[in-house]
Amino acid sequence: MPVSDKTRGIALMLLAMLAFAINDTIIKLLLADMPLPQAMVVRGVPACTMLGLLAWRAGAFSHLPKGRDRKFLILRSFGEVAGTLTFLGALTHMQLANVTAILQSVPLAATAAAALFLGEKVGWRRALAVAIGFIGVLIVIRPGEDGLDPWAFLVLLSVACVVCRDLITRQISRDVSAALVGLGAAITVLTLSIVWSAFVPWQPVTPRHLLLALVGGFFMTMAFVSLVGALQSGDVSMTAPLRYSQLLWATLLGWLVFDHLPDIVTLAGAALIVASGVFTILREARRNR
């Protein structure tokens, strides 16, 4: 695999994690004022519009996926739905940093799954770095400190869905536009949200909500496209550890927006997470010299 592809995968994954953190912050703000399905509709409409325009400008609609790619695109969309519902369901009841921290077990699960199902080679040093990063996640969560949170199980289910979604993404050829892949997932999520929202009472939508939805839609679009591009460009076991960077952004945004100031233990765990990601990048660069 050319070095340029790996470098592109790293950059896109880091960008995707920042965009996801901002989007999660915005959806949590919306969830404070409206039920989950309504928030998903309010955010989903501008996101689908932006992704649709992006796909149209890229000429994606003139070459719609067929055969194998179409099958994997549909499967990925359902994986996106399951991952989104479980994640946002937990986010309604948990702090942003805590949900994000649990979600950071995705790299460890993805690395193991890539080795088992895709035959990707993972050296012991990279495996150790990922394991150390996961220890950092556990330090941030501190399981048992305040008792077992049942909503954490919902996040773990989201982890499984995200890993499946990412492995499916790897099976989609690069000829399929990243915007089209993201659009398919967003439309599937929005469709389900519209049906679900018909059975819950809606709350008034204010100009503030609309502004949040537009900004959230922009960053969700950026996250979708960047993530798909990263997974199509890089080795899953190499790019997956970079998901840990989302925890740093989520912790910072949780402090700035929700006044949840991280303590020294949280910062120590985050430091381990960052160290594991940096080591993985440096190790990969050294191996390609």
pLDDT of amino acid 149:
66
DSSP-based three-state secondary structure for 104:
coil
Please state, in angstroms and rounded to a whole number, the distance separating the CA atoms of residues 194 and 76.
Answer: 20
Please state, in angstroms and rounded to a whole number, the distance separating the CA atoms of residues 17 and 270.
Answer: 15
HEC per residue, 4-66: HHHHHHHHHHHHHHHHHHHHHHHHHHHHCCCCHHHHHHHHHHHHHHHHHHHHHHCCHHHCCCC
How far is the CA of 144 from the CAs of 97, 147, 152, in angstroms? 17, 5, 12
Please state, in angstroms and rounded to a whole number, the distance separating the CA atoms of residues 240 and 235.
Answer: 8
- Report DSSP letters for 224-284, one per residue: HHHHHHHHHHS-HHHHGGGGGHHHHHHHHHHHHHH-----HHHHHHHHHHHHHHHHHHHHH
Pick the closest to residue 192 from 51, 83, 52, 67 (CA basis). Answer: 83
Both tokens of 255, joined, read 């402090």
Rounded-to-5 percentages of helix, strand, coil across the chain: 80, 0, 20
Both tokens of 188, joined, read 């599937």
pLDDT of amino acid 24:
92
Please report, in tens digits, the pLDDT of each residue of the chain (289 residues total): 455 677 788 888 889 989 989 999 999 999 999 999 999 999 999 989 988 888 888 777 877 778 888 899 899 989 989 999 999 989 888 888 888 877 877 777 777 777 777 777 777 787 888 788 778 877 877 776 555 567 878 888 898 899 888 888 888 887 787 778 878 888 999 999 999 999 999 999 999 999 999 999 899 888 877 887 787 776 666 676 777 788 788 988 998 998 887 778 877 887 787 787 777 666 655 665 5
Please indicate, yes or no, whether the overall pTM of this predicted structure exceeds 0.85. no
